[in-house]
């Protein structure tokens, strides 16, 4: 839009006092926004000066697109200094309001046309909105990068702590930097399931030591430290292996136990929270593959073509070795069940009254449930 001679004269007058306006804007920002008090004036003034001069130049023709480079730099700098984006927007509004107040006062003194001044005011705020959007976008980008960087550094620290590659000499300082007390005990854990890592972290939120969970991703699992052991169940289809409560410096062995507990529970299709003591011999079944193979071949391979015999033995053992109860479960006569048990003993050489045999048979059945045995008919 064309500017009248009066408005043009007013703009020229405003140009002459631009530096005083910059100082006024800086004073107002520091006075009104507490978060800006820590910003040195020599770092605050250049950004304010650029915005004030751009605003005045926009008053010249009102058609120029917003200058965004300085706004982006200002947004990034304020984010790095920890100034909230809301305060950055407040500072920009102070600047625009101050410039416009000086312009409007001078325009009235020069008897400028009120309609022209109002129309110019609308365009100025439209221009200012574009500048503020760019500053806010850059502020949020830096905020996100800073958060991601902090998360990555926390993750690297936790991985090093749990794997034993952390420099123990600086452990106290590094732990404190991530909100951990090196003299306090924590519960190492490893978890999977529940859909994704975020779901697992959400399920464990009540058990973390603070609001920034000391967790990381490790081979697809969520791993880290808890303030206390979770309850037996956690929301969702999540399985969690935990180790004993230890200080961060002693987390390696405890985390190894948590990993073994997780692997064991997951292999047996369990969900919930487990340490190795909860799983008993199951962990040995998982790790001692050779023993499992030998016991499978001793007790189960001979009856692989006799499914009724195997099903009868499993039902009998799982029901507490009560003949009548097992027979009712299988819908057979008790004598039929006794005959099948006797047949099993004949084929395998097992003695179902011998405790050692029963323990070995349990092991063979547990190993078979893992799916690691040779395929039937193979």
Indicate the range of 109-118, 186-195, 355-364 predicted with least confidence: 109-118
Confidence band (pLDDT; 50, 70, 90) for 52? Answer: confident
Q: What is the pTM of this model?
A: 0.61
Same domain, 207 and 81: no
pLDDT of res. 1: 43
Residue with the larger pLDDT of the pair 65 and 330:
330
362 pLDDT more than 50: yes
Distance CA 181, CA 185 (A): 8
Per the structure, how many domains does the chain have?
Answer: 3
- Residue 167 resides in a domain: no
Confidence band (pLDDT; 50, 70, 90) for 122? Answer: confident
Distance CA 189, CA 208 (A): 11
Same domain, 142 and 9: yes
Among 283, 310, 344, where does a domain finish?
283
Same domain, 303 and 278: no
Same domain, 22 and 75: yes
Share of the chain above pLDDT 90, in %: 42
Same domain, 229 and 138: no
The pLDDT tens digits of the residues spanning 322-346 come to: 999 999 999 999 999 999 999 999 9
Same domain, 306 and 293: yes
3 pLDDT more than 80: no
- Residue 83 resides in a domain: yes
Residue with the larger pLDDT of the pair 221 and 148:
221
Same domain, 254 and 310: no
- Residue 165 resides in a domain: no
Same domain, 43 and 97: yes
Same domain, 209 and 321: no
Provide CB contacts within 8 A for 323, sequence distance 6+: 316, 334, 337, 338
45 pLDDT more than 80: yes
- Residue 162 resides in a domain: no
Domain limits for position 309: 288-369
Same domain, 21 and 123: yes
pLDDT of res. 376: 44
Distance CA 363, CA 299 (A): 10
Among 263, 283, 303, where does a domain finish?
283
Same domain, 240 and 131: no
Q: Which two tokens stand for residue 117?
A: 């001044």
150 pLDDT more than 50: yes
pLDDT of res. 139: 84
- Residue 124 resides in a domain: yes
Same domain, 132 and 244: no
**Are 50 and 91 within 8 A, CB to CB?**
no
Mean of the per-residue pLDDT values of the chain: 86
Q: Which two tokens stand for residue 338?
A: 């006794």
Domain of 118, CATH number, reads 1.10.490
Q: Which two tokens stand for residue 309?
A: 């015999």
């Amino acid at each position: 839009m064309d500017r009248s001679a009066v408005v043009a004269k007013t703009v020229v007058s405003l140009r002459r006092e631009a530096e005083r306006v910059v100082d006024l804007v800086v004073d107002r920002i520091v006075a009104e926004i507490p978060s800006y008090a820590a910003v040195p004036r020599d770092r605050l003034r250049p950004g304010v000066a650029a915005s004030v001069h751009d605003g005045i130049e926009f008053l010249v023709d009102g058609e120029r697109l917003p200058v965004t480079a300085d706004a982006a730099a200002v947004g990034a700098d304020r984010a790095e200094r920890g100034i909230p984006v809301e305060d950055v927007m407040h500072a920009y509004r102070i600047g625009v309001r101050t410039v416009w107040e000086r312009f409007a006062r001078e325009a009235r003194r020069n008897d400028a046309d009120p309609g022209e001044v109002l129309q110019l005011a609308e365009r100025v705020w439209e221009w200012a909105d574009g500048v503020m959007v760019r500053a806010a976008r850059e502020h949020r980008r830096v905020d996100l990068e800073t958060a991601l960087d902090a998360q990555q550094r926390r993750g690297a620290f936790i991985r090093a702590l749990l794997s034993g590659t952390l420099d123990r000499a600086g452990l106290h300082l590094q732990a404190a930097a991530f909100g951990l007390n090196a003299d306090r005990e924590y519960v190492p854990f490893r978890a999977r399931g529940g859909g994704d890592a975020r779901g697992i972290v959400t399920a464990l939120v009540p058990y973390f030591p603070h609001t920034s969970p000391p967790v990381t991703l490790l081979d697809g699992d969520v791993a880290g430290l808890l303030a206390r052991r979770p309850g037996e169940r956690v929301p969702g289809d999540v399985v969690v292996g935990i180790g004993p409560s230890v200080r961060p410096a002693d987390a390696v062995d405890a985390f190894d136990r948590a990993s073994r507990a997780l692997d064991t529970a997951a292999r047996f299709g369990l969900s919930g929270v487990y340490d190795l003591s909860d799983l008993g011999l199951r962990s040995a079944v998982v790790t001692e593959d050779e023993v499992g193979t030998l016991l499978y071949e001793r007790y189960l391979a001979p009856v692989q073509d006799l499914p009724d015999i195997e099903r009868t033995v499993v039902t009998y053992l799982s029901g507490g070795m009560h003949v009548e109860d097992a027979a009712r479960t299988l819908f057979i006569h008790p004598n039929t069940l006794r005959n099948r048990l006797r047949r099993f003993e004949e084929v395998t050489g097992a003695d179902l009254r011998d405790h050692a045999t029963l323990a070995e048979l349990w092991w063979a059945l547990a190993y078979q449930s893992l799916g690691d045995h040779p395929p039937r008919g193979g």
